[in-house]
């Protein structure tokens, strides 16, 4: 494609952005009828091919942006997008098929169906922590549902943005998919336009900004947000298995994962053994000393100085307020390195217990009565994910049934993201709506109701309301109401 598929931060202005939007709007109106399943699948094939061709570029970009290990890039940036495409292609026919809506006696003599239709021109705003996955993953659903899309990647991972632009330029014409780079001001300019749907992934604070802007145009939104995802380790947990899953979920991507276990509640009876196990697991995976952890290629870095300072301040604030640093705490600004850090003796006045940690810090809180843990979780905003570790099914069941969260992982962390048949999303503060598979397809579709007259007798209830019509209406209300 020779047409320009991106606007660099330096040159983007309201006029460029409006022109990009208008081009998609015009094309969308023309394309509407022709963008059938075959055409959508062809576009998805182009995207898959471009992602595969650019795999090395994606890996190099994520390494340059935050030293993300190549294997993690393959598993958490590339694989989810390719899996989403494969799954979508397989099921698209059944998702697109109009679904018959059975008539009831009250609408006897009519025929009806629900038909998913493309919403139109969509905006995808992505965060930096899984920059490729969270830009191109929603794009798969947008195209599958027959939409065009403008993607605004995060300004914090410029190398990943470059790779996304290259992929999009190779795969699509800009009247179908276009990338517009830029910071919050570009994002705000985009948000002022009357998009047909906005799919935003980012923090709850900016989610509110997005929803407020969307309200001005009555644009529908999917908000994939964050927050603190608690983990409960029960008295009968398999301690080694719990430690293994928690260390992976917490320290992969350097804790910069929306569904990372934020903090852990561990039952007092097993607390000492659990802490030993977590320490041993960190040593096994990343090395026993900060030097070893710095040297391993498997440990990612904090994305930028602002976040490095934020994470370091979280540790210092906890230390100053009396927390005990069980392990880690070392930081090296020159590399934006923070060692895997375990903190105990925490209290509610510490920043680590108030804000989403989004870094390699794991507070460990001992408990005796799980009811108090459940009360505490229910007193805060609803989490994006909640994890429970215990061999007893009833222990997990009571946590699941007495709390509200986007998702629950039992004896695992994070991998529910990869399940294509599960909705991925939060609830209230952690998000609105869902992504992935059919849920993603629905997020980008309008479910249009179509009803046809066949042998209906509804006209017998129309005015003028003679005695006969009045009696008929009374019978309808009495018998069918
Ligand atoms: N639920 C999920 O799927 C998911 C996935 C990844 C990250 N997250 C969440 O995202 C957050 C981290 O990502 P982040 O730091 O990139 O989030 P962020 O909210 O700061 O930024 C997200 C996007 O919004 C844009 N933006 C920033 N300020 C804006 C403003 N004032 N107006 C309009 N747009 C603005 C950014 O340029 C970026 O593209 C965490 O809270 C994390 O939990 C959620």
With 60 as the cut, is the pLDDT of residue 395 above it? yes
Distance 184 CA to ligand 1 centre (A): 10
How much is the pLDDT for 7? 40
Q: Give residue-wise pLDDT tens across range 77-99.
A: 999 999 999 999 999 999 999 99
Measure Cα distances from 377 to 56, 234, 353, 393 in Å: 42, 15, 12, 20
Q: Which of 57-61, 148-152, 301-305, 477-481 has the lowest mean pLDDT?
A: 477-481
Quick one: pLDDT at residue 177? 98
Tell me which residue has its CA closest to atom 9 in ligand 1.
Answer: 202
- In this model, does residue 311 exceed pLDDT 50? yes
Q: Which residue, among 9, 67, 36, has the nearest Cα to 298 in the 3D structure? A: 67
Q: How far is CA 360 from CA 67, 246, 289, 460, in A?
A: 14, 12, 15, 70
- Cα–Cα distances in Å, from 46 out to 42, 53, 85, 172? 6, 10, 10, 8
pLDDT of 31 reads 85
Structure confidence by residue, pLDDT tens digits, 242-298 = 999 999 999 999 999 999 999 999 999 999 999 999 999 999 999 999 999 999 999
DSSP class of 462: P
> Per-residue pLDDT for 6 more than 50?
no
Ligand 1: atom nearest CA of 182 is 37
Task: Quote the percentage of the chain above a pLDDT of 90.
Answer: 94
Instruction: For 86, list phi and psi in degrees, rounded to 5.
Output: -60, -50
Residues whose CB falls within 8 Å of the CB of residue 276, separated by 6 or more in sequence, listed in order: none
Predicted model pTM: 0.96
Q: Mean of the pLDDT values across residues 406-426? A: 98
Element (H, E) at 177: strand 177-180
For the chain, what is the radius of gyration of the CA atoms?
Answer: 26
Mean pLDDT of 38-45: 98
pLDDT given for residue 32 in this prediction: 78
Mean pLDDT for the chain overall: 96
pLDDT > 80? residue 146: yes
Cα of 20 from ligand 1 centre, angstroms: 23
Ligand 1 centroid from CA 257, angstroms: 12
Please enumerate in sequence order all residues whose Cβ is within 8 A of that of 300, keeping only pairs 6 or more positions apart, or say none. 66, 67, 68, 69, 72, 252, 253, 254, 256
Residue closest via CA to ligand 1's atom 3 equals 224
Q: What is the whole-number distance in angstroms between the Cα of residue 216 and the centre of ligand 1?
A: 20
Here the ipTM equals 0.98
From ligand 1's centre to the CA of 356, what distance in Å?
A: 13
Edge-to-edge order in the sheet of strand 263-267: 324-327, 341-344, 361-367, 263-267, 230-233, 385-389, 407-410
The predicted structure's pLDDT at residue 3: 33
Give catalytic residues, as residue numbers: 224
Pocket around ligand 1 at a 6 A CB cut-off? 125-130, 134, 152, 154-155, 183-184, 187-188, 191, 201-203, 206, 209, 224-226, 258, 356, 358, 384, 426, 431
The predicted structure's pLDDT at residue 10: 40
Contact 365, 345 (CB under 8 A): no
pLDDT at 33: 79
- Closest C-alpha residue for ligand 1 atom 6: 258
Cis previous bond, 241, omega within 30: no
Query: In this structure, which residue's CA is closest to atom 31 in ligand 1?
Result: 184
What pLDDT was estimated at residue 292? 98
| pLDDT at residue 1, rounded to an integer | 33
Among 81, 127, 431, the mutation site with the greatest number of ligand 1 atoms within 8 A of its Cβ is 127
Largest CA distance in the chain: 92
DSSP string, 51-73: HHHTHHHHHHHHHHHH---HHHH
């Amino acid at each position: 494609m020779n047409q320009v598929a991106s606007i660099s931060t330096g040159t983007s202005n309201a006029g460029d952005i409006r022109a990009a939007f208008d081009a998609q709007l015009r094309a969308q109106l023309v394309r509407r009828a022709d963008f059938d399943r075959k055409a959508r699948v062809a576009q998805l094939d182009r995207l898959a091919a471009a992602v595969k061709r650019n795999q090395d570029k994606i890996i190099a970009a994520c390494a340059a942006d935050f030293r993300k290990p190549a294997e993690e890039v393959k598993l958490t940036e590339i694989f989810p997008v390719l899996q989403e495409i494969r799954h979508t292609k397989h099921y698209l026919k059944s998702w697109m098929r109009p679904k018959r809506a059975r008539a009831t006696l009250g609408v006897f003599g009519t025929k009806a169906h629900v038909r998913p239709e493309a919403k139109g021109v969509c905006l995808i705003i992505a965060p930096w922590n899984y920059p490729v996955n969270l830009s191109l993953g929603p794009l798969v659903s947008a195209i599958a549902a027959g939409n065009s899309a403008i993607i605004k990647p995060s300004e914090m991972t410029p190398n990943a943005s470059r790779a996304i632009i290259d992929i999009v330029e190779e795969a699509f014409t800009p009247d179908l998919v276009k990338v517009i780079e830029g910071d919050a001001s570009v994002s705000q300019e985009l948000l002022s336009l009357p998009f047909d749907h906005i799919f935003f992934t980012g923090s709850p604070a900016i989610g509110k900004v997005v929803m407020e802007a969307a309200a001005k145009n009555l644009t529908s939104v999917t908000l994939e947000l964050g927050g603190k995802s608690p983990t409960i380790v029960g008295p009968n947990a398999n301690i080694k298995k719990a430690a293994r899953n928690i260390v992976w979920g917490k320290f992969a991507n350097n804790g910069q994962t929306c569904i990372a276990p934020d903090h852990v509640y561990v039952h007092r009876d097993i607390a000492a053994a659990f802490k030993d196990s977590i320490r041993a697991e960190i040593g096994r995976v990343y090395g026993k000393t900060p030097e070893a952890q710095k040297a391993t290629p498997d440990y990612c870095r904090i994305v930028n100085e602002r976040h490095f300072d934020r994470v370091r301040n979280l540790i210092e604030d906890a230390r100053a307020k009396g927390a005990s640093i069980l392990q880690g705490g070392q930081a090296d600004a020159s590399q934006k390195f923070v060692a895997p850090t375990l903190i105990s003796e925490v209290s509610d006045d510490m920043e680590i217990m108030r804000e989403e940690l989004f870094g390699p810090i794991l507070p460990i809180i001992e408990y005796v009565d799980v009811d108090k843990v459940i009360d505490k979780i229910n007193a805060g905003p609803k989490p994006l994910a909640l994890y429970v570790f215990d061999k007893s099914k009833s222990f997990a069941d009571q946590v699941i049934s007495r709390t509200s969260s986007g998702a629950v992982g039992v004896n695992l962390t994070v991998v529910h993201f990869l399940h294509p048949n599960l909705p991925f999303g939060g609830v209230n503060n952690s998000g609105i709506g869902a992504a992935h598979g059919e849920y993603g397809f629905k997020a980008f579709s309008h479910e249009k109701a179509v009803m046809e007259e066949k042998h209906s007798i509804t006209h017998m209830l129309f005015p003028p309301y003679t005695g006969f019509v009045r009696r008929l209406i009374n019978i309808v209300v009495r018998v069918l109401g």
